[in-house]
Amino acid sequence: KQEVTQIPAALSVPEGENLVLNCSFTDSAIYNLQWFRQDPGKGLTSLLLIQSSQREQTSGRLNASLDKSSGRSTLYIAASQPGDSATYLCAVRYGGATNKLIFGTGTLLAVQP
Contact residues for other proteins, defined by CB under 8 A: 32, 34, 36, 41-46, 49, 51, 89, 91, 97-106
In angstroms, what is the minimal distance from the CB of 87 to other proteins?
Answer: 10
d(CA 89, CA 75): 10
> Which of 45, 81 has the CB closer to other proteins?
45
| Closest approach of other proteins to the CB of residue 39, in Å | 10
Q: Which is nearer to other proteins, 14 or 97 (CB)?
A: 97
Are the beta carbons of 65 and 76 closer than 8 angstroms? yes
Q: Tell me whether residue 17 or residue 39 sits nearer to other proteins (CB atom).
A: 39
Nearest-angstrom CA–CA distance, 35 and 60: 14
- DSSP 3-state assignment of 83? helix
Instruction: Report the DSSP beta bridge partners of residue 42.
Output: none
Residue 79 C-beta: closest distance to other proteins, Å: 27
111 and 13 in contact (C-beta within 8 Å)?
yes
